[in-house]
Chain A
Amino acid sequence: MPSVTNMLRDKNQHGQRRYSAFGLLRKGLSNQPWPRVWREVPLKDSYDVVIIGGGVHGLATAYYLAVNHGITNVAVVDKAYLGSGGSGRNTAIVRSNYLTPEGVAFYDRSLTLYNSMADDLNINVMFSERGHLTLAHNDSSLRTMHWRAEVNKLQDIDSSVIDPAEIKKIVPSLDVTSEARYPILGALYHPPGGIIRHDAVVWGYARAADAYGVEMHQKTEVLDILVEGGEGRDGKGAGGQVTGVMTNRGKISAPIVVNCTAGWASLISDMAGVDLPISTRPLQAAVTEPVKVFLPAVVVSGSLHTYVSQTDRGELVFGAAVDPYNNYSIRGSLEFTEGLAGHVMELMPGISRMKLLRQWAGLCDMTPDYSPIMGATPVEGFLCDVGWGTYGFKAGPVSGEAMAECIATEKMPAIIAAFGLERFAKGDLVGEKGAAAVGH
């Protein structure tokens, strides 16, 4: 398969498709429009693979199916617009300083893919490797930071525990005095961590997959999953074979259906008669009005249940831990903004006059061990890439790559071997709570 850049270089009726400074100049001078990011095509009644969910996971899976395995008769269907789920609502923190060896290796591969993404997808995803600090305010969290640092070092991840003086050098706006109510005792510092333009990643995968012939179908909601021969109700469930999906736009046949619906994942898998140990919880976030840039790194505080970064546009982006109850509502709460503001002011007392501009929420598909569920299910042909909780954006590229391999080879790739659904029956959990509860 030729690379995306080459594919996009091939001129078609739209003229220049490849993004570059030169392209911008030419378009500007000629007043010519850019071609569509992805085509609008009629929905066919059958595909080799139907991917449910047009977030980063679904789109990355489609892209790698095409580019790595030449499987292009693929439809990505989404009930709303591409990126309408968590992929368009997250706070875009990317890092690999996880706690378990399985987690570290996996997320590190994602970082590598993010690093070359601008080139691979020919779109500037604005990956800003600005450094990621997880603060410790008491001896037990300091111990956890050391634990993570030690595991990270064994996997060659750039990650270490630094002291308050070093923290102050990196982020001058933090209050590192002992006067603070919860003094900062140290931090886990992870220089390769950072933030990325989440929308660009979503659009980049969609555009690149489209260039290979993958179809994007927005406003296409899956209402049911068609399964034959299973042990459960209506022939669904274990032992069954997937035959397609029913959507609001009609039936689509497909021998392979992939569930990439994050917050809605357990509803979708239920349509196939597959139970997932997932509960859906809202996660909230907020931004302030823009101000001149003063915060150079991503700062996370587990004890204060908050994290903050500043975009290149100058907005502070805040997040916290998931809401403490199961819910499908994506309305923000007042309490969230109160707790958040109180806590970030503990960290940076100087920002009290900044103003909160907007708050929102997204849905998170939480698993008991804060690790994903990937690969085969008891229904033949029905695969899942779910359980992404509060931390799945950063995993998009590696998951797409691994899921594509899993679909094409019908084998579980080593890098995700630990994340199979069967681990819950076997008791082989991959505990990442210590590294993912607030840290995203």
Chain B
Amino acid sequence: MSTLSDRLSAQPGEIIDRSSKLRFTWNGKGVTGFAGDTIASALMANNVQVVSRSMKYHRPRGYMTADYWDPNGSVQLASEPNVRSGHRQLQEGMKVSAQNVWPSLDRDVRAVNGVLGRFLTAGFYYKTFMHPRSLWPTYEKVLATFAPGGKVDLDAPSGYFDKRYAHPDVVVAGGGPSGLAAAIDAARAGAKVMLVEHTHHLGGHLLWGSDGDRAVLAQLLTELAEADVEVLVDSTVTGRYEDNWIGISQRSHPGVEERLIKARAKMLVVAGGLIERPYVFEGNDLPGVMMSSAVRRSMAMYAVRPGSRAVVLSANAEGDAAVEALTAAGVEVAAVVDPRNGQDLVRAKGSRRVESVELADGRSVEADLLVIAAGWTSPTSLINMAGDRPSFDDSCGRFFPTDPPETVLVTGGMAGDGTTEEIVEHGRATGDLAARRASTVAHRLQAATTRAQSVDEIEPVWAADSRIALGRWSHPGLYRASTHGIVDYSEDVSSKDLVAAAKEGYDSVELLKRYTTATMGPSQGKLSTVNTVAILGEARGETIAEVGTTVWRPPFAPISLGALGGRKFEPIRVSAMHRWHEANGATPIIAGQWIRPEHYGDPAAEVRKTRSGVGLIDVSPLGKLDLQGADVPKLLNHLYTNTWNKLPIGGVRYGIMCAEDGIVLDDGVTGRLGENHYLMTTTSSGAATVWEWAENWLQTEHPDWDVSVTPVTTAYASMNLAGPKSREVLSSLVDDIDLDPEDFRYMQLRTGRIAGVDNCIMWRIGFTGELSFELHVPAGYGEAVWRSVMEAGAEFGITPFGLEGQRIMRLEKGHFIVGQDTDGLSLAPATGLDALIKLDKPDFAGKPELSWALENYEGPLVVAVQPVDPNVVPGEASQIIDPIDKRILGRITSARYSPTLERSVCLAQVEPQFATAGSRLTIKMIDGSLQEAVVQEHHAHFDPEGERLRG
């Protein structure tokens, strides 16, 4: 064929701007297009016939639908794989190349697969490459080189992605005539409307329709401009989740590569139109075989001539319109095959493009273009996601909604057939109905928040659906001609493969699709689902309705990970004293979201200075919950295993919390600030868990309790002043608090002024084992108080200490850390704190399990252990084993060198029979060597009587 594609003269509805030429490259070669072109239309205008190679057989492929869904149209941009060339707009300087070709698009050596095709039937890989077993990794590597798709540029900087929340009354998915009309009328009825169109242009099929169609479109666009509608083009409704939670991928927001809009829509109108369905016959994937809509779109919008001599298979009015449009554009229509009159085609022939078409009547017609108008697929994904199971109408050859929920309305081609006017009318009525139902939803939401009586049980009264239903025009059921051809283009699955697989027993849709991978590829089965089901029906002797369809899962169209992830949004938390730490040489450590000082250069020195004088640590990440109300003791009794009835005002108590299974969940101290006012502290990592835990009980089991829980972790800056000199340091900083040890005792709290700052809380506790005061000061004054304490401490040789110093001191003191020294199996008795489990309370979380455990627990116990060689510090997680049979008897959970005792100290979990004081244990070190260790009498390696902290 001599003249292939090129530009037509100016077309009335064209959207290219011929005055703006764009240069780009195709496989390294410089070419041009116009502003407004898609990559595909520009390539077509440049006579590019073959855009890709098929996945398995590497057959040459050209444009077939020339839109987003074109299974052949994915190309590689510089740093972006799998770009839909039928959708992406051309830009100056774009570097476009074919993907999945080797070494080049023209000469693809893997095309030999095509020759071997009869042996590479669907699922062939399950049946071979098994021997010898040792070679499978090699086979696998070779197979992996056949992976379809483009290349990810892992070094490309991540783009700017973002998210937005929206609360529209109505989201309309699809900007064709029905969607436009729905959006306009919904807005006119007072609804806040978002109209979302997948392509770059509103109008749907009117864009390539008749003059009359374009006039209707112009009218609708005028009305739209006047209506108050938010219009999003180049945007896709990607998913409909529970309660009309709608995901929208917006690719057209200025400065943002792609944005995820999350809309809680009161109503969803699905107006997604129809997708033209390919026809299965031999040669149906040759370049030059195109859908009628693709041909018309290319000519009308981009003024590209799709071929020079055409055969048109037309089973409907759209096909007939394509014949007219082709003729008008000067393309010779050599034959029209009309299945409505029993005509059919047999096969298309050609090597790199269609050269001739063989018809059922025996004729062979020379042509370089074969246009297919064989019917439609209804892309019912969104209504699927709303729980509907669409039903197949044999006489129309497509699926229709069955019974979507009241908050999801369908219009346009998915709802039925009609003239343009009827479609627009249906759209308008749908918009109006959507607006009315949206107000029902709005009232319901309001009622839900303002009335004590839940509205959940009351069925809402929905505005009745009085729309005049669209018709259903009968259409021949055209799926496969007498020959076999490709069904799933992106997966290279043929009808022969499907029939063979069905005969092999993969004869339900789900099994078939898994075995052959039909519908599983990048075009998500938009083009292949119905043909797959039809051919399975053929093999089983069943109708499409009997075979049923597969469930379409989100997203409706692929969405970038960037848009889903949004801006990097991992918060970093630092305390009010962070600047001071940075200025004073702190080495940071990441602890969950927090960044805090690990040490200030020499943790051992920090320990020694604290034990001999005084030290200050920032403990702001400690979880803090403000508890108020008359029933706080009930809550405390429920959460902690010990008793809280008699805690006096000014008192502080330690407790452990267990989950319902008796496993230790958290621990910490709670103090009583006033009659009905308490402050609870949790571990740093447990802060969120304990808050949720408390709320969970209060909201589900005990809504009648008078307790308010407010997380105040960051409302206070917290620091712990520890060491024998701590009282002296503090004495110059307080005026309204009496520090006299006879008056302010261990496990008591005081409120008052510290370093001139009011409303501070201080309590005497001792994780480090020293006399210590934990100060909670209003966060805004944190740094100021910290500085004052450091200044006041200067004369006593005060040292700041970090997390590491604290860990050493708590280990010397034998305090366990929940989650480190205990684990997901540690029932409370494992900690040895049986005395803190009060079974005489009527109930508490974990009580049934703990009542059993106190009697019967035989699991590992937490014990203090010292290696015989004082210089050996076993790695944490070193196993304690039976040296003979290597059986695991426990493990080291914490280990440090103690600067105070000048020897290594550990906590461990061991089987109970080895937990008694004096037991000798064998530790298998991380390097494999064995070391001896001895179980200690007391958890505390240091000051077991606790004289220091009571001082």
Contacts and interface: CB of A to CB of B under 8 A. Distances in A.
B915 to A, nearest CB: 17
Contacts of A431: 823-825
Contact of B140 (A19, A126, A182, A369): A126
Interface string A116-135: 10110011101111000000
Interface in A6-47: 19-21, 23-25, 27-29, 31, 33-38, 40
Nearest to A370: B824
A88 B551 CA distance: 14
A346 B568 contact: yes
Contacts of B159: 352-353
Nearest to A333: B241
A36 B505 contact: yes
Contacts of B161: 352
Interface in A103-162: 115-116, 118-119, 122-124, 126-129, 137-140, 143-144, 146-147, 149-151, 153-154
Contact of A182 (B80, B144, B590, B859): B590
A314 B149 CA distance: 7
B570 interface: yes
Given A289-B558, A352-B161, A352-B560, A124 B125 contact: yes
19 contacts: A19-B130, A20-B131, A25-B119, A84-B510, A126-B125, A288-B561, A290-B82, A291-B81, A291-B151, A293-B144, A313-B148, A332-B554, A334-B554, A337-B555, A344-B565, A345-B158, A354-B561, A360-B553, A369-B825
Given A181-B568, A182-B590, A352 B562 contact: yes
Given A331-B385, A352-B161, 12 more contacts: A33-B504, A154-B886, A290-B82, A291-B82, A337-B559, A342-B568, A353-B156, A354-B81, A356-B561, A358-B555, A431-B823, A434-B824
A127 B565 CA distance: 31
Interface in B679-695: 685
A124 B591 contact: no
Given A129-B137, A200-B126, A331-B241, A358 B511 contact: no
Contacts of B332: none
A36 B128 contact: no
B239 A119 contact: no
Interface residues of A, number: 102
A17 to B, nearest CB: 11
A150 B149 contact: no
A165 interface: no
Contacts of A353: 79-81, 152, 156, 159, 257, 560-562
B150 A28 contact: no
A193 B932 CA distance: 34
A350 interface: yes
Interface of A: 19-21, 23-25, 27-29, 31, 33-38, 40, 80-84, 88, 101, 115-116, 118-119, 122-124, 126-129, 137-140, 143-144, 146-147, 149-151, 153-154, 172-173, 181-183, 197, 199-200, 203, 218, 288-294, 312-314, 331-334, 337-338, 340-346, 348-360, 368-370, 427, 429, 431, 433-434
A21 B136 CA distance: 13
A342 B565 contact: yes
A236 B511 CA distance: 36
B502 to A, nearest CB: 10
B876 interface: yes
B147 A293 contact: yes
B740 interface: no
B457 interface: no
Given A118-B130, A312-B147, A28 B121 contact: yes
Given A181-B570, A312-B147, A139 B589 contact: yes
Interface of B: 79-82, 118-119, 121, 124-131, 133, 136-137, 140, 143-145, 147-156, 158-159, 161, 239, 241-242, 245, 247, 257, 260, 262, 385, 500, 503-506, 508, 510-511, 514-515, 520-522, 524, 553-555, 558-566, 568-570, 572, 589-592, 661, 685, 819-820, 823-825, 827, 852-853, 856-859, 875-879, 881, 886, 888, 891, 924, 926, 928
A350 B144 contact: no
A334 B163 CA distance: 13
A399 to B, nearest CB: 22
B508 A81 contact: yes
A42 to B, nearest CB: 16
A144 B463 CA distance: 58
Contacts of B888: 101, 151, 154
A355 B561 contact: yes
B286 to A, nearest CB: 23
Contacts of A29: 118
Pick the most buried of A20, A23, A343: most chain B CB atoms within 10 A of its CB. Answer: A20
Nearest to A146: B877
8 cross-chain pairs, A with B, having the tightest CB-CB distances, nearest first: A314-B147, A350-B154, A341-B564, A352-B562, A355-B558, A431-B825, A19-B127, A146-B877
Nearest to B894: A143
Contact of A350 (B136, B158, B566, B853): B158
Pick the most buried of B159, B524, B823: most chain A CB atoms within 10 A of its CB. Answer: B823
Contacts of B876: 143, 146
A313 B491 CA distance: 10
Pick the most buried of B125, B154, B879, B926: most chain A CB atoms within 10 A of its CB. Answer: B154
B518 to A, nearest CB: 14
A354 B152 contact: yes
A21 B128 contact: yes
Contact of B553 (A35, A124, A332, A350): A332
B565 A345 contact: yes
A290 B561 contact: no
B148 A314 contact: yes
A351 B155 CA distance: 9
Contacts of A331: 241-242, 385
A358 B558 CA distance: 8
A362 B504 CA distance: 27
Given A352-B560, A357-B524, A83 B514 contact: yes
A24 B119 contact: yes
A341 B161 CA distance: 12
A293 B151 CA distance: 8
B155 A147 contact: no
A348 B515 CA distance: 31
Pick the most buried of A83, A122, A346, A356: most chain B CB atoms within 10 A of its CB. Answer: A356
Contacts of A344: 561, 565
A116 B130 CA distance: 10
Contact of B555 (A144, A218, A348, A359): A359
A82 B140 CA distance: 26
B154 A173 contact: yes
A58 B143 CA distance: 31
A218 B140 CA distance: 32
Given A150-B926, A181-B568, A28 B126 contact: no
A4 B610 CA distance: 72
Nearest to A207: B505
A129 to B, nearest CB: 7
B506 A37 contact: yes
Contact of B504 (A36, A354, A433): A36
B858 A427 contact: yes
Given A123-B126, A334-B262, A352-B158, A368 B661 contact: yes
A119 B133 contact: yes
Contacts of A25: 119
Given A314-B149, A431-B824, A434-B824, A147 B891 contact: yes
A139 B520 CA distance: 41
Contacts of A123: 126-127, 130
A358 B126 contact: no
Contacts of A358: 520, 524, 553-555
A153 B875 CA distance: 15
Contacts of A149: 877
A291 B149 contact: yes
Contacts of A346: 568, 570
B507 to A, nearest CB: 9
